[in-house]
Amino acid sequence: MARAALRTRCSKSMTKKILIATSNSGKLHDFVGAAKTHGIEIAGIPGFSSLPLVVEDGLTFEANARKKAEAYSRYAHGEIVLADDSGLEVDALGGSPGVHSARYAAPDLHNKEPHQPNANTDDDSNNARLLRELKNVPPEKRTGRFVCVLAAARDGKTLATFRGTAEGIILDAPRGENGFGYDPLFYFPQIQKTFAELSAEEKSHYSHRGAAFRKFLDWYDAHSNR
């Protein structure tokens, strides 16, 4: 019994914890799925919703990810904080919605430019705008990709960044009940499913966020053992 208790205490003490700078439950769910087999605990930053908002006004996914990671890591002294910026690039739209993916419908709903504070818009509105803009685009030209850039920071300093992508096709109607954002419209030909039709484990294997997170895990394993 004593040895079993010691093993339990040791396994708990060896659990690695990474803090994620997001209040988006969908993103947290994605990270938990990706970390599940690596012995890493994923958690949000305590009191995240009460922290000052970081305006995502960068011109690239990396710029926004670094800005968020550096800002929020100052509230978690000594801990590694991960922040991501991710979105959908559609070839027929010149790469839009891109860094404005979470705020794509802002001009219509809020009369705001997407880079302004509090400009985020709901998934249904963003998807509706995307479908309107692709209405007359034939299937063979509805190609695009999900992009995710993760930034790892500690005490206000970026340690490294990691990029992942997933190539797919934008459907003309949503499919699936899982996921969030543009997942129901993003068809992944490799497995003939949309991202909203995947389990958490499947999504961690195929998604842009899973690809970026695996690169982070490789980096983390190499640096945490030093």
> Residue 46 and residue 40: Cα distance in Å, rounded?
17
Catalytic residues: 85
| Of the candidate ranges 80-89, 124-133, 204-213, the one whose mean pLDDT is the lowest | 204-213
16, with CB counted inside 10 A (0-12, 13-18, 19+), is middle
Strand partners, 186: 170
Would you place residue 11 in the very low, low, confident or very high pLDDT band (cuts 50, 70, 90)?
Answer: very low
What is the dotted CATH code of the domain comprising 2-224? Answer: 3.90.950.10
Query: Average pLDDT, whole number, for the chain?
Result: 87
The predicted pLDDT at position 37 comes to 67
The predicted pLDDT at position 16 comes to 79
pLDDT digits (tens, 9 = 90+) for 55-77: 888 999 999 999 999 999 999 99
> Residue 94 and residue 115: Cα distance in Å, rounded?
18
CA 131: distance to chain centroid? Answer: 22
The predicted pLDDT at position 10 comes to 38
> Residue 123 and residue 212: Cα distance in Å, rounded?
23
- Helix (H) or strand (E) segment spanning residue 100: none
- pTM of this structure: 0.84
The predicted pLDDT at position 225 comes to 58
The predicted pLDDT at position 201 comes to 82
Is residue 113 within 8 A of residue 132, CB to CB? The reply is: no
> Residue 100 and residue 56: Cα distance in Å, rounded?
9
Would you place residue 215 in the very low, low, confident or very high pLDDT band (cuts 50, 70, 90)?
Answer: very high
pLDDT digits (tens, 9 = 90+) for 142-165: 999 999 999 999 999 999 999 999
- Helix (H) or strand (E) segment spanning residue 144: strand 143-154
Residue ranges per domain, the chain? 2-224
Would you place residue 8 in the very low, low, confident or very high pLDDT band (cuts 50, 70, 90)?
Answer: very low
What backbone torsions phi and psi does residue 147 show, to the nearest 5 degrees? -125, 140
Which residues, 6+ apart, have CB-to-CB distance to 13 below 8 Å?
Answer: none
Q: Span 200-222, mean pLDDT?
A: 89
DSSP state at residue 188: E
What backbone torsions phi and psi does residue 214 show, to the nearest 5 degrees? -65, -40
